[in-house]
Amino acid sequence: MTEITDTVSPSLRPDFATIAAWIKPATKVLDLGCGDGALLRYLTDTLQTKGYGVEIDDTNILACLNNRINVIQSDLESGLSGFESNSFDYVILSQTLQAMKHTENIIHEMLRVGKEGIVTFPNFGHWKNRLQILRGHMPVSPTLPYEWFDTPNIHLCTLNDFEQFCHQHSVHILERRVMTGSQQTTFAPNLFGMLAFYRFTQRK
């Protein structure tokens, strides 16, 4: 998994604030690929949410326990069969979608288990990425820090790609934020935005 496992304080994580802005207080949140549990800790502290994380990595499981976060060790690729349908208000998949094999399945599972889904991913369409490809190389950037030969990212996409995917898979996008660092990107986000945030639900 490509979690951001920095232990930086939440105030230094604008992505946390962006996600938190979408979450109502005292709701129930499932964070898939929760890393060290920092996001859930932040949501619990600021919004009094009831949170559970899912993680596969031993070190992260331990970090979650140290962070006083409920964490379930499990492989997301095998789905969310341990979770009841409609048992969460929000299911978050933060910076993990691009590293998953079974993309369609996990989005489907998120909307089975949760009323709403929230995903964040690095926008492959950012101009710096495009430029590096034009120069003949796979992009390496702060949001895509891996070389082509050691990257866990197998399903990178652009904003346009994700929106098309949602359209084709009966996913109704409720809200979108595109960020570059701590700034929101509103002008030509598929070209100038680095990190994409989507809040979505099942299309009725």
Partner 1 sequence: MHDSDSIGIVTPQRLHFDSPLQLESGAILDSYDLVYETYGELNADRTNAVLICHALSGNHHVAGVYADNPKNAGWWNNMIGPGKPIDTNRFFVIGVNNIGGCHGSTGPATLNTKTNKPFGADFPMVTTIDWAETYVRLAQKLGIDQFAAVVGGSLGGMSTMQLALDAPEKVRHAVVIAAAAKLTAQNIAFNDVARQAIITDPDYHGGDYYAHQTFPRRGLRLARMLGHITYLSDDSMAEKFGRELRSGSLGYNFDVEFQIESYLRYQGDKFAEQFDANTYLLMTKVLDYFDPARDYDHDLSAAFHRAKANFLVLSFSSDWRFSPERSRSIVKALLDNNLNVSYAEIASRHGHDSFLMKDDHYHQLVRSYMSNITT
**Tokens at 16, concatenated:** 């946390």
The smaller minimum CB distance to partner 1, of residues 62 and 133, is found at 62
Query: Does residue 61 interact with partner 1 by CB under 8 A?
Result: yes
- CB of 3 closer than 8 Å to CB of 95: yes
- CB of 5 closer than 8 Å to CB of 60: yes
Query: Does residue 90 interact with partner 1 by CB under 8 A?
Result: no
Options 15-23, 69-77, 98-106, 120-128: segment touching partner 1 (CB under 8 A): 69-77
Coil, strand or helix at 152? coil
Which residue from 7, 11, 12, 58 is in contact with partner 1, where contact means CB under 8 A?
A: 58
Which residue from 45, 84, 104, 147 is in contact with partner 1, where contact means CB under 8 A?
A: 84
* Distance from C-alpha of 173 to C-alpha of 159, rounded to nearest angstrom: 12
The smaller minimum CB distance to partner 1, of residues 64 and 107, is found at 64
Which residue from 66, 160, 170, 186 is in contact with partner 1, where contact means CB under 8 A?
A: 66
State the residue for tokens 């098309």.
164
Query: Does residue 62 interact with partner 1 by CB under 8 A?
Result: yes
The 10 Å Cβ neighbour count of residue 124 is 23
The torsion defined by the Cα of 166, 170, 171 and 173, in degrees rounded to 10, comes to 80
Contacting residues toward partner 1, per CB under 8 A: 28, 50, 52, 58, 61-62, 64-66, 68-74, 82-84, 87
